[in-house]
Structure 1
Amino acid sequence: MRLIRLLLATALTFSVVPAHADSKDVARLTQLLENSKTLSARFSQLSLDGSGTQLQETAGDMILQRPGQFYWHTDAPQEQLMVSDGKKVSLWDPDLQQVTIKNLDQRLTQTPALLLSGDVSKIGQSFDITAKEAGGVIDFVLKPKTKDSLFDSLRLSFRNGLINDMQLIDSVGQRTNILFTGVKANETVAANKFQFQVPKGADVIQE
């Protein structure tokens, strides 16, 4: 649930310490991301506070498609669904029978899901990026160049060319770790997967 809230939340403000990016690291990350026009996977998510105490653990399924379309479903008992058609994002909370709809913020620093599904051709303009490789695993650490970002740092890890896991750290040291399993790239996705139909009787909040 926290990841969905994070993806949809208002940006936090904090100080960013810039890193020195290597243009080769930027180019490599861009290529890895752009190689996957669609992605589907099972995910497990763990949220920890600044001291390392577990706050929440959830799991679910995600499907992504460029440009900017995604389907992110968290399993019960904390079920939620976030769907983007590339222009609007809908967050459905079945427990509250409520859907929140807002414009998709295209800035990569505002919506981490866009790093996997959006236009990353100019990712080096938004982040300082450094990489470390060991065997078939390559880790990229991204630090936003602006202060109006949702996260202080983001790590993306790829195994054999596919996304394996990611970690977001916010301004107070809270961490969100997401592990992807059963990752499949460039498979055909039905167009209606990214179209959310408001359930009958649901409360609708437009932001």
Structure 2
Amino acid sequence: MQFQRFVITAALLLAGAGSTWASGLKSLEDFVKTVKTGQADFTQVVTSPAKEGQTPRVKTSSGQFEFSRPHRFKFIYVKPFAQTIVADGQTLWLYDQDLNQVTTRQQSQVLGSTPAALIASAADLKALQADFTLTDAPDKDGLQWVLAVPKSKDGQLQSVRVGFKSSSAEVPTLEVLEILDSFGQRSVLSFAGFQVNPALSAKAFEFRPPAGADVLKQ
């Protein structure tokens, strides 16, 4: 599943140029400390390396994203195919509507040095630095950027770049997540309409397999 490869194994990082703009690391620190829940629409563009004599393959999908610290998040893919990924704090659920198939994994075994950890899990910058080497990246497109490189070399994730929109008078908002894996595949998630600290109950991250669905444990 495309999302699984890029956001879980790659998909919880969810979480300056002058006096007005903060640095990327400062924006990340403020985001982790201040934004306890979040909600946004997203568009994901996955680009695979070109094979010999061929052009790169590009796939685009879109949907909604929300999270609640610690350890809860949900991606609902609407286009081109309906898929749902839910982390409820204990279990990671992946539901493919077309196949009517649910895959479950123990959340603690599949998250950690992943983009999801950066966005939605860690309580502070120190916790993130246990799993990632974090550095400021050059400002681009009016955003402040952080480069996160996993300290563990065992996974498929090579690096993540996180772009924030922030000023000295505003809470940083997550704008872009760029994920590069060890196979050269690049996934760019762009977020729109980001809501800071909306009221989200724990029930929003509960998942029950639909009637008749095949449930596979991994």
Which of the five TM-score ranges fits, normalised by the shorter chain?
0.7 to 0.9
Corresponding residue to 1:93 among 91, 96, 101: 96
Find the aligned partners of 2:123 and 2:158 in 1 and give their Cα distance.
19
| SS of equivalent to 2:108 | coil
**Which one of 43, 64, 67 corresponds to residue 64 of structure 1?**
67
Q: Does 1:131 align with 2:136?
A: yes
Aligned pair partner of 1:75 in 65, 68, 78: 78
Distance in 2 (CA, whole Å) between partners of 1:120 and 1:144 is: 18
| Map 1:7-26 → 2, pairs under 5 A | 7-9=7-9
Q: Give CA-to-partner distance per residue, 1:107-159, whole Å, 9 cap, x none.
A: 531x3212111024311121111113549521001111111233101000001
Give the secondary structure class of the aligned counterpart of 1:75: strand
Stretch deviating more after TM superposition (44-53 or 82-91):
44-53
CA distance in 2, matches of 1:168, 1:183: 19
- Two-structure CA RMSD over aligned residues (Å): 2.2
TM-score of the superposed pair, with normalisation by structure 1: 0.84
Cross-structure match for 1:182: 193
Q: State the distance in 2 between where 1:33 and 1:88 align.
A: 22
SS at match of 1:83: strand
SS class of match (1:198) = coil
How many residues were matched structurally? 193
Is residue 150 of structure 1 aligned with residue 156 of structure 2?
A: yes
Check whether the contact 1:48–1:175 (CA below 8 A) recurs between aligned residues: yes
CA contact (8 A) 2:149 2:158 kept: yes
Deviates more, 1:26-35 or 1:100-109: 26-35
Counterpart position of 2:18 = none
Runs ≥4 in structure 1, deviation > 6 angstroms? none
- Per the TM alignment, residue 26 of structure 1 is displaced from its structure 2 partner at its CA by 5.1
Q: Is the 8 A contact 2:92 2:105 kept in 1?
A: yes
SS in 2 for 1:147: coil
User: How far did residue 25 of structure 1 move?
Assistant: 6.5
- Residues 31-58 of structure 1 show CA distances to partners (whole Å, capped at 9, x for unaligned) of 3223210010000000112347233110
1:192 — aligned with what? 203
Provide the C-alpha distance between the structure 2 equivalents of 1:94 and 1:85, rounded to a whole number of angstroms. 19
1:27: Cα distance to partner? 5.9
Q: Within 2, Cα distance between the matches of 1:146 and 1:165?
A: 23
Q: 2 CA distance for matches of 1:102 and 1:2?
A: 16
Structure 1 Cα separation of the partners of residues 161 and 84 of structure 2:
24
State yes or no: 1:45 paired with 2:44: yes
Q: Identity of counterpart residues, as a percentage?
A: 29
Q: 1:115 aligns with which of 118, 131, 137?
A: 118
CA contact (8 A) 1:128 1:144 kept: yes
Supply the AA of the counterpart residue of 2:74.
Y
List runs of 5+ in structure 1 lacking aligned partners. Answer: 12-23
- The equivalent residue for 2:175 is 164
Structure 1 residues 117 and 81, CA gap change in structure 2 (3 angstroms): same
**Unmatched 5+ stretches in structure 2:** 11-22, 167-171
What is the TM-score when the length of structure 2 is the normalising length?
A: 0.80
